[in-house]
Amino acid sequence: MMFMLKSTAWLATLQSSTRSFGSLRPALYAAISSSTAPALETNVKSETNRLEKTLTKFWEKVDVTEDSEGIHVQLDGKTLKTPLGNRLILPPTKAPLAHLIAHEWKNLQTLTIKPYTVPLTSVAARAVDLKYVEETKDPEVAAKMGTADDVKESLLRYLDTDTLLVFSPHHEYQGKLRSAQEEIYRPIIKSMEDYFARHAGVEKLVFSYLDTEKDGLRGNMQTEETKDAVRKWLKNLSVWELVALEKATLTVKSFLAGTAILRANHPAETERLSIHDVAKAADLETIFQTERWGEVEDTHDVDKVDIVRNLATAALVCHDH
């Protein structure tokens, strides 16, 4: 499915998902976090820390301003801070994202601040802090939250267990699941093979996949040649693209699905999947399970909304205006 990203459209997706998610039972809502970054326990005087400790709204006005440093999201004239205490300053190409982050703070549904209540703020802060680690080479901070290279190698491991590279036995669900996987996964796999081969400057790249009909649960592993080709692509990602890839990959346990989100937001890309197409592909087995056995209340419905919202967050973070 072809689509062009528009901030207003993704805002609607994010708002709709948040409303649906928030309407579910409070106990479950509070138990679910979509954070993909390592938790950092800090005493930094950031807005999120202050709000989490006081549960009191301490600002009146939310603004977006721009100066020579970049774009600031401010509460009563003070720029938001990240968990590491860095000012949340976005590059000029992220103006729509800045306004959407401001929207998060203008429309908080709860004062119990968690990553899932301000998803765009959380992932943007992750990018700013990761860039800080790269620029300062601070070993203590790097040990806590990792470096960009650490993130890349961690994400690369998802190719071995990628959701879109595992095919179910033919007998399951009367063969309908395997048929759907063949129809949906194969074009994505072929497109990704061509995409990474092109970026690595190699003639051909082939992903290994797990066919549980023949291979059982022996596991799957990509060749070093394949990994090296993908590393070349990863090397050229901006920190904003990297945290978006991280968010999407960890959400659906699929590196290929995460890559699809980034490709859909690249102006030169001609092969684009919609958020809902990516979500469907990554959650295909669960879809078949719920069609046969029904949904478990406050579980499958929550997961479905959470996946779409997190993928939309990743799409917005990597999008340049």
- Whether the model clears a pTM of 0.85, i.e. scores above it, the answer is no
Collapse the DSSP code of 67 into the 3-class scheme (helix H, G, I; strand E, B; otherwise coil) and give the result: strand
pLDDT at 7 (0 to 100): 44
Q: Mean pLDDT across the stretch 158-171?
A: 94
Percent over 70 (pLDDT), the chain: 79
Q: What is the pLDDT of residues 128-160, one digit of tens each?
A: 999 999 999 999 989 888 999 999 999 999 999
Residue-level pLDDT at 114: 76
Q: Do 62 and 106 form a contact (C-beta atoms < 8 A)?
A: yes
* Angle separating helix axes 300-318 and 255-264, nearest 10 degrees: 50
What is the per-residue pLDDT across 250-286, written as a single tens digit (0 to 9) for each? 999 999 999 999 999 988 888 899 999 999 999 998 8
Alpha carbons 88 and 256: distance in angstroms, whole number: 29
- Alpha carbon 66 to its chain's center: 26
Could you give all domains of the chain from N- to C-terminal order, each with its CATH number? 39-145 (3.30.2180.10), 146-321 (1.10.3580.10)
- Pull the structure tokens for residue 179: 């048929």
Closest CA to 311 of 269, 268, 259: 259
Place of tokens 């290994």: 208
